[in-house]
A and B are shown apart, each in its own frame.
Chain A
């Protein structure tokens, strides 16, 4: 069984390698055909990336953007989950605030960003708030679904066993929400990665988004792609080394 799984995994791995190589090949061919600085090939971008890593401020910018992602993610998850759980538990509160939620879901991200900068000021607080606000409604909607699906029968067990509030939360209530927390995390990060760059482009003087804006003004595509590649690499690493292991440990019992 485990042997068969190994072979399957190997084949899967090689398919992925092949796919990546094909992507590089298409890029290389397109670059060669265009023969323009506006579409640099993989080699040029790699060289730019190495230079940025060694002499540029790439790592600083990445760090700053990541810090903003982390801050707004934590903020949005905390507020969004709380709103969602409260709305999922009480029909009346749900009816009362449903419209607000729909409104929040449909306001364009750019409008929220602009208003935050206008109302809070062109600072770090406004940037983090803007990113977080964009994610709060999505998170609330997902957690509301989770709170609605809570199994009352299991809560009765907790009542009969006279569990303390903390144990009831940890062993009975929250585990039912874990899948929803995970999907809110996934959906949230996907959104935040993108919005944080826009926020930086519009109103910050550091971070990946700001730097992309600078290179855009010079039509410096090689550096834009180098920044992009490093950012994507970080996103994928977070997914592979943080989110997936966390999800696996939380859903171990389903195996």
Chain B
């Protein structure tokens, strides 16, 4: 069964002269429970795509249909409410707001954030803030989880730790995941499938199913070999992708 069907004919932004076409003729479906990575050069419209799927941007031509009610989204930055503690930030996602401690605290404990329940975001490190954001997205047991360029601004060990955390949550709860990144090795190490987008306007360039055993690591020899092979067979396609996990702020 498909959890997500995307058929965006066109999405553009008005500019001073004319318009900027961000997405044109992008069609794909994602199966229930699949971990799909979306890879494309920075600024190719990946974040726009997620906004459309999340329903934040309704100004486009085409159809996007989601199966299942609960949507979780983790933005490029954690976007926590600075005036709410870690616990309150996660509780914010629960409707109706819980009176007694429960799901929010359990979720934060799963993220190994138990000592920081009452800390404000400002008192947390970047990695800890990301974990709170993940907890907030997971606490509603989403059917579909959208993640935008999650771990690229973190140091390599922290990023890898969070990737493993994400995979273990996914393994247990099996939401459908759409994971956007511009790091090919990260995508290859995480997904069941990698969707490659062209430089803007975004279009599907390659749909690559992955059948590699887990656990994998972005620095594994098989991943690296696969990356090299892909770059050789599709030299134009993947131009603009970063090779490593270099931090980059996408527009």
Interface centre among A156, A159, A164, A254 (most CB of B within 10 A): A156
Which A residues lie within 8 Å of B55 (CB)?
159-160
Q: Interface of A with B (CB < 8 Å)?
A: 153-154, 156-157, 159-164, 167, 171-172, 175, 178, 253-254
Closest 6 CB pairs of A and B: A253-B120, A175-B83, A253-B83, A160-B73, A157-B79, A161-B93
B81 beta carbon closer than 8 Å to chain A = yes
Please give the distance in Å from B118's CB to the nearest CB on chain A: 11
DSSP majority for the B interface?
Answer: loop
Contact A171 B75 (CB under 8 A): no
Contact bitstring B34-78, A, C-beta under 8 A = 1, else 0: 000000000000000000001110000000000000011101010
What residues of B have a CB within 8 angstroms of the CB of A254 in the complex?
82, 122
Measured in the bound complex, the distance between the Cα atoms of B79 and A254 in whole Å is: 16
Asked if B75 and A157 sit within 8 Å, CB to CB, the answer is: yes
Please determine whether A171 and B84 come into contact, CB atoms closer than 8 angstroms: yes
Taking a contact as CB atoms under 8 Å apart, the answer to whether A162 and B95 are in contact is yes
The answer, among B54, B72, B122, B136, for a CB contact under 8 Å with A253, is B122
CB of B97 within 8 A of CB of A167, answer yes
A160 and B54 in contact, given A171-B81, A171-B84 (Cβ under 8 angstroms): yes
Q: Judging by beta carbons under 8 Å apart, are A153 and B75 in contact?
A: yes
Q: Which residues of A contact B77 (CB under 8 A)?
A: 153
Q: Contact between B95 and A164 (Cβ–Cβ < 8 Å)?
A: yes
Residues of A within 8 A of B120 (CB): 253
Closest chain B residue to A159 by CB distance?
A: B56
Beyond the given pairs A160-B55, A253-B83, 15 more chain A to chain B contacts, judged by CB atoms under 8 angstroms and listed by A's residue number, are A153-B75, A153-B77, A154-B81, A156-B56, A160-B54, A160-B56, A164-B95, A167-B92, A171-B84, A171-B92, A172-B81, A175-B83, A178-B83, A253-B82, A253-B85
CB-CB nearest in chain B for A156? B56
Closest to B74 in A: A160
Contact in complex: B79, A153 (CB < 8 Å): yes
Which B residues touch A175, using CB under 8 A?
A: 81, 83
Q: Which A residue sits closest to B119, measured CB to CB?
A: A253
Report B85-98 CB contacts with A as 1/0, cut-off 8 Å.
10010001101010
Chain A nearest CB, measured from B122 CB (Å) = 7
Q: Which residue of B lies closest to A171 (CB)?
A: B92
Instruction: Give the interface centre of B71, B79, B83 by most chain A CB atoms within 10 Å.
Output: B83
B75 cross-chain contacts in A, Cβ below 8 A: 153, 156-157
In the assembled complex, the CB of A104 is this many whole angstroms from the nearest CB of chain B, namely: 32
Which residues of B in the span 128-184 have a Cβ within 8 Å of any Cβ on A? Answer: 136
A171, B83: Cα distance in complex, Å: 8
A164 to B56 alpha-carbon distance, docked (Å) = 16
- 5 inter-chain pairs at a CB distance below 8 angstroms, sorted by A residue, are A161-B136, A167-B92, A167-B95, A172-B81, A253-B84
* Chain B residues in 8 Å Cβ range of A160: 54-56, 71-73
- Which residues from A are CB-within-8-Å of B71? 160
Q: Specify which chain B residues have a CB less than 8 angstroms from the CB of A154 in the assembled complex.
A: 79, 81
